[in-house]
Amino acid sequence: MSTPWHILGAGSLGTLWATRLARADVPVRLIVRDATRLQAYQTAGGLTLVEHGEAQLYPVPGETADSDEPIRRLLVACKAYDAEEAVARLAHRLTPDAELILLQNGLGSQDAVAAQVPQARCIFASSTEGAFRDGDWRVVFAGHGYTWLGDAGHPVAPIWLEDLSAAGIPHEWSTDILTRLWRKLALNCAINPLTVLHECRNGGLQQHHCEVATLCAELTELLERCGQPAAAENLRVEVERVIQATAANFSSMYQDVANQRRTEISYLLGHACKVASRHQLNLPHLNQLQQRLIAHLHSLGLPSD
């Protein structure tokens, strides 16, 4: 009997993984916030995956953090600002050989989670898959992407990657996962905050070429100072390519603000500014961008942490 996957977080990526694993007959359990949510989930009868316009229901068993079943494999798919507390509530259920797959945006939350559960192996993940929820317990698969997984302290790939292959989840084991996460963080810092402040799609940043270039120069300096020269390589070219390739899209931070949701600013721009300060690196435009974004969030009545 293969080890069950416990999925923490019923957002778009958590639901996308849960339904594809269930479709491949891999045992899956969905952990929801509380008894009220569990009742709502059970009423819905499971998770629905919408792909190519076709909706399919998967009756994935649901539970709360208080369930008794030990957890050996946990996909942490909640927001970066929720991850540490959510894992702390489950810590007593983790087996001595537990493995956590951390699917958070930005940087900072992964180390906080790992500190909560020192006995567990924490695997960092970075995904470019596109999905969005169009209702409770429903996810629409919007765009094929890739998920990179890695463990900076233990580079040997785990055997359960076979489950991802069976489920049709495109993935690759990366021996330089921190480089990938830093690169993605830099891309997000150069694009997402500006789309919020200029209230535009990604393509709208083509009108703010100088501002983007200045940020890329400072982010490149930061990455090199952090010992991530590979993540810094041709950053500006990559940012401009992403802006062009995703011109019609709204960034995830733009969508959070438009929907009056808390953003992950602390784990993106906030993390970059904090690390720069730790290295005594003066990055005026990056710091100014953070202050502008905080002021903008406050003006909308949204939290800035």
Identify whether 184 is a catalytic site residue.
yes
Instruction: Yes or no: say if 160 and 183 are a contact pair by the CB < 8 Å rule.
Output: no
Residue corresponding to tokens 């996810």? 139
Which two tokens mark 154? Answer: 């233990």
Give the contacts of 29 (CB within 8 A, at least 6 positions apart).
Answer: 4, 5, 6, 7, 60, 61, 62, 63, 69
What tokens does 258 get? 């438009």
Selecting among 29, 79, 180, 184, the annotated active-site residue is 184
C-beta separation of 273 from 286 below 8 A: yes
Instruction: Please give the Cα distance from 71 to 84 (Å, whole number).
Output: 17
Q: What span, in angstroms and rounded, lies between the C-alpha atoms of 222 and 168?
A: 36
d(CA 173, CA 228): 19
Q: Which residues participate in catalysis according to the annotation?
A: 184
